[in-house]
Chains A and B, each alone.
Chain A
Amino acid sequence: MDYFTELLNNPGITKAMWPATVETMQMVFISSVVSVVVGLLIGILLHTTDKTGLAPMRWLNVILSGIIVNITRSIPFAILMVALIPFSALVVGTSLGPIAASVSLTIGTVPFFARLVETALRDVSSGKIDAALVMGSTKMQVIRKVMVPEALPGIVSAITTTVVTIIGYSAMAGLVGGGGLGRLAYNYGYTRYELEIMIITIIIIVIMVQVVQILGDWIARKVDHR
């Protein structure tokens, strides 16, 4: 009994746990939304500007694929994040807090998501694209009405994977000023060695990931008519 009373009075839980969860959700939400929007765009460009794509454009493909995506993806996230601190400060005016952390989280995940989108789009058979073109579609119509809808199950899975990745990264981002559950686990669980806080943090994060995964899988099934 004593143990639980103590636990319920622990400021780490009563005071810090909820704000930290909110901060994490903020980070995850902001970076997920921006990553999905920007990454979808880049993914579509990666696919369509390819030499066998809908609108081959070598220079753009080289810039997007070679320079932006490949280079960004080869930098370990922890390093990228630290390197981006000055940039985050420039964009949002501070290098601290969940909003600032969202900047580096987004930059870190956009290339990852863009590649997943590109893969999903590549799975749409070229016969369907041909059919759309032969029926008189503009390139824009092919993308909007055929390519993306046909790849939607894959894109939804890609979003799920990306959000899960962002949750993971957000804990890391928390350590370098982002706050949130990552910071909480570090402050209480690591520095003060309060095992309970560590465990509860882990449970919350596991629940978050599971909710995202289950929801994502459910939506993917809903939109998959193959």
Chain B
Amino acid sequence: MITVSDLRKVYRQGSNDVVALDGVSLEVPTGKIHGIVGHSGAGKSTLVRCLTLLDQPTSGSVAVNGKELTNVDSDALRNARRRIGMVFQHANLFDSRTTEQNVAYPLELVGTPKKEIAEKVAQLLELVGLTKFAKGYPSQLSGGQRQRVGIARALATDPDVLLCDEPTSALDPATTDEILELVRKLRDRLNITVLIITHEMHVVKQICDSVSLLEAGKIVEHGDLEAVITNASGRLASTLLPLPGEAPQAEGAGRVLDLLYTGAQATEPVISGIARKFNTDVNVLAGSVEHLGDQQFAHLRVQFAPDVDIAAIIEHLESTGIAVTVKEAK
């Protein structure tokens, strides 16, 4: 479990202060994968640096399994850091070391016996599927393989938390999915808590159990994936499940609604149900339906004839658990 409370970070840029983190609080329970998304400049990198104490937070605290990382002496900090495994965007492997020496690095630091290191490294490389590259150097590996080495290295100290900073931003889509699959597998097997910083919604949809939206140093929205994706008034819903391409805007005389729904309703004939019940035509302008995990999510934009009782339709939809937003006709 990782607990962040009221984390603040103020940078001095020349004569003015930049508030990079403005009271971030966050808790990720053991065994969960939490995503933190945000635009450029939102404070994602700052958050990572403060979580690992690479930068000293201005105030607030970070704790892993109840153990404080903030306000401890440098020995305690070094030990606490070993509870966090970190995966970087560009892997940050040591070019002077072979694959196995890279993975062995965190174990060497505390003087682990050679034999024990060899066993642990072999086990980790097996876990990430790189056994046959053990003697190779990072420069001989592909981006995805390098990231796997980075993950193995991060896991060498059996950390409680895996902190991933843009782990797939430098990878192609196929490799991205491979790495995300690996992270999920590791979580399942090791019951490790995972925190993924990313700007790719795809990553969130693929593996996150819950998500936070960081904006100007504040978490402006957070919750379980299912909750945020169906929260029509939230900002994450429309970015997580966008309408395809240039979805037609509300046009002409008809009334236009955006519908967000999940699970049970997604398998029911919602549209034809309404058409029958209210005896009207329903025109689907755009829609996207996705399977995330074992859930199905739908985002539809529909248009009704101008003369329908739109209030009744909205009431009916909401009573079945569908989130509705009225789009103003232009």
A residues adjacent to B (C-beta < 8 A) = 125, 127-128, 130-138, 141, 145-146, 149-150, 152, 223, 225-226
| Contact residues in B for A127 (Cβ distance below 8 Å) | 88, 90, 92
* A150-B78 contact given A127-B88, A135-B106, CB 8 Å threshold: no
Within B262-301, which residues are at the interface with A (CB < 8 Å)? none
Pick the 5 closest A-B CB pairs, nearest first.
Answer: A131-B92, A149-B96, A127-B92, A225-B137, A135-B106
Q: Which of A127, A135, A223 has the most CB of B within 10 A?
A: A135
A145 touches B108 (CB 8 A): yes
CB distance from B96 to the nearest CB of A (A): 4
Number of interface residues of B (CB under 8 A): 26
**B109, A141: Cβ atoms closer than 8 Å:** yes
> What does the 1/0 interface line of B24-68 toward A look like (CB < 8 Å)?
000000000000000000000000000010100000000000000
Partner of B109, one of A125, A135, A152, A226: A135
Given the complex, which residues of A lie within 8 Å of B106, measured CB to CB?
A: 135-136
Question: Whole-angstrom distance between the alpha carbons of A225 and B102 in the complex?
Answer: 13
Known interface pairs A149-B94, A150-B96. Does A131 touch B86 (Cβ–Cβ under 8 Å)? yes
Q: Are A134 and B95 in contact (CB under 8 A)?
A: no
Q: Would A149 and B109 be within 8 Å (CB), given that A125-B92, A135-B81, A225-B137 are in contact? A: no
Q: Which residue of B lies closest to A223 (CB)?
A: B96
Contact of A136 among B95, B97, B109, B139 (CB under 8 A): B109
Other A-B pairs, 15, CB within 8 Å; known A135-B153, A138-B78, A149-B96: A130-B92, A131-B94, A132-B105, A133-B81, A134-B84, A135-B82, A135-B157, A136-B110, A136-B157, A137-B109, A138-B109, A145-B109, A146-B94, A150-B95, A225-B95
Report the bound CA distance from A152 to B82 in whole Å. Answer: 27
A136–B92 CB distance below 8 A: no
| A133 in complex: contacting residue of B54, B90, B138, CB < 8 Å | B54
